[in-house]
Structure 1
């Protein structure tokens, strides 16, 4: 039986990265479905749309846009309704325009698509094409195109029922300069990178990432991608309980008067 693949993203169903992800998926299977937001949902994180109706817009065979929906909404709709009695074996989220590294993954709609895929019983892989924003705000998709299917196959071969989703970033270099595929930890920043950023319009402001918190671990995803020209893959655990803290809290009690 062919691998059933569900694709989503947070840049929107018409974004160029999702077309690349479809090519990656079709290199592995002929059973590929796309369920993605009708517009940009970057930074949506794992938000669900509760208390407001959503709708589908058919964009062709096995291709649907969810009006106003988040990536997590799209995965739930795909896995529990659109794909019928056989949900996807693999959820691919992306390819995102821009890197998703370190603690930024916590607010990433791309990452949330893969995470919700795992919560729904599939293997989940988020993929992002990094950019050098000082050079251009338009990504060069060459590395995602060249290596995407091979990266997915390598992850599937290593997967052993782990309760994780995988976060992949392709470096901004030529395809010839890519040194390989490297498994790394994510960069835990010293503080949140999300900051208040003033607007030129009086009384208005933005949420932005004006700078990267320092210091950076040379062995973590941020620096390995930026300096090493490696494709990085990081497994994120869905069981988030901190066992050390859980143990320390085991002696908690209430004072009885």
Structure 2
């Protein structure tokens, strides 16, 4: 085995699509650390959560966008991208790291539930691949991801060196603009969207709806991802895909469920 062969294999995915600016910056960092394989949706897939394609065929085709990078565009969801990469490209030999992003827009707090970016990373973790999702607090197409790269590299280096606890991945969010104060280990804030549906009429006077809403933070703790981002830090939240509410099991065991 050559020295090159010993470099870690890194799978890069996202939910904004293979041509999104954020993934370019993530690829550039990954290239510094190992051999890179990119599998990303052929178009935007934001808000897809952990959706998978089961009712129609999937396609993925090689593309040549960045020199020296093995890249594929996929017709499916971000989770489909990870599944295809593991099964058809790596053929069951797991990559050493899966990174997802860098997403346009935050995936802090409750956003982690809806995020295609984070669901791709979750799927990596389900496959026992050390996985990290990266997101930036900027929804614009002119978003500047360059100030995130030093921190992305540091997180990836540490994950490659130490691994991650079993069934755990990382959710990393960056504040907008330069001058990030550092990386802060946090918990997920207790916050949600107060949602509304803006009703409008099409030219035939039929109603249609746009989802809108206001983000509400109910959590005053100074150890949350929302607090960290509001104070200029990049938040690092360890996430698990075991959704069992373990604290509720003793309560339910006190119920009388006998028939």
TM-aligned CA distance change 1:181 to 1:158, over 3 Å: farther
Please report how far the alpha carbon of residue 232 of structure 1 lies from its aligned counterpart in structure 2 after TM superposition: 1.0
Contact residue 13 and residue 101 of structure 2 kept, 8 A: yes
Give yes or no for the alignment of 1:99 onto 2:103. Answer: no
Question: What CA RMSD, in Å, does the superposition of the two structures yield over aligned residues?
Answer: 1.9
> Could you tell me how far 1:238 is from its partner in structure 2?
1.9
Determine helix, strand or coil for the equivalent of 1:234. Answer: strand
In 2 relative to 1, CA 194–139 (structure 1 residues): closer, same or farther, beyond 3 Å?
farther
> Which residue of 234, 240, 244 maps to 1:241?
244
Distance 1:255 1:149, change over 3 A: closer
Task: Tell whether 2:229 aligns with 1:229.
Answer: no
- Separation in 1, partners of 2:173, 2:102: 9
Alignment partner of 1:20 out of 20, 25, 30: 25
Provide the residue aligned with 2:15 in structure 1.
Answer: 10
**Alignment correspondent of 1:141:** 145
- Partners of 1:194 and 1:65 in 2: how far apart? 35
In structure 2, relative to structure 1, the CA distance for the partners of 1:161 and 1:216 (3 Å cut) is: closer
Aligned partner of 1:161 in structure 2 is 165
Aligned to 1:196: 196
Question: 1:71-105: CA deviations, max 9, x gaps?
Answer: 00100000111222422121100010111110011
CA contact (8 A) 1:55 1:66 kept: yes
* Equivalent pair of 1:218/1:224 in contact (CA under 8 Å): no
TM-score (norm 2): 0.87
Alignment of 1:1-257 (within 5 A): 1-29=6-34, 31-60=35-64, 62-67=70-75, 69-131=76-138, 138-174=142-178, 177-189=179-191, 192-193=192-193, 195-202=195-202, 203-208=207-212, 210-219=213-222, 220-226=224-230, 228-256=231-259
Alpha-carbon distance change, 188 to 215 in structure 1, aligned in 2, over 3 angstroms: closer
Q: Which protein has the bigger strand share? A: 2
Check the 8 A contact 2:23/2:101 in 1, yes or no. yes
Structure 1 position 251, deviation (Å): 4.0
1:211 to partner: Cα distance: 1.2
Tell me the alpha carbon deviations over residues 14-69 of structure 1, each in whole angstroms, 9 at most, x when there is no partner. 1111111101111111x1100110000000000011121111121035210111x1
2:107–2:135 Cα contact (<8 Å) kept: yes
Distance 1:160 1:170 in 2: 20
CA contact (8 A) 2:194 2:216 kept: no
- Residues 196 and 205 of structure 1 are in contact (CA less than 8 Å); yes or no, is this contact kept in structure 2? no
Aligned-partner Cα distance in 2 for 1:170–1:234: 12
TM-score by length of 1: 0.88
Q: Confirm or deny: 8 A CA contact 2:130 2:159 kept in the other structure.
A: no
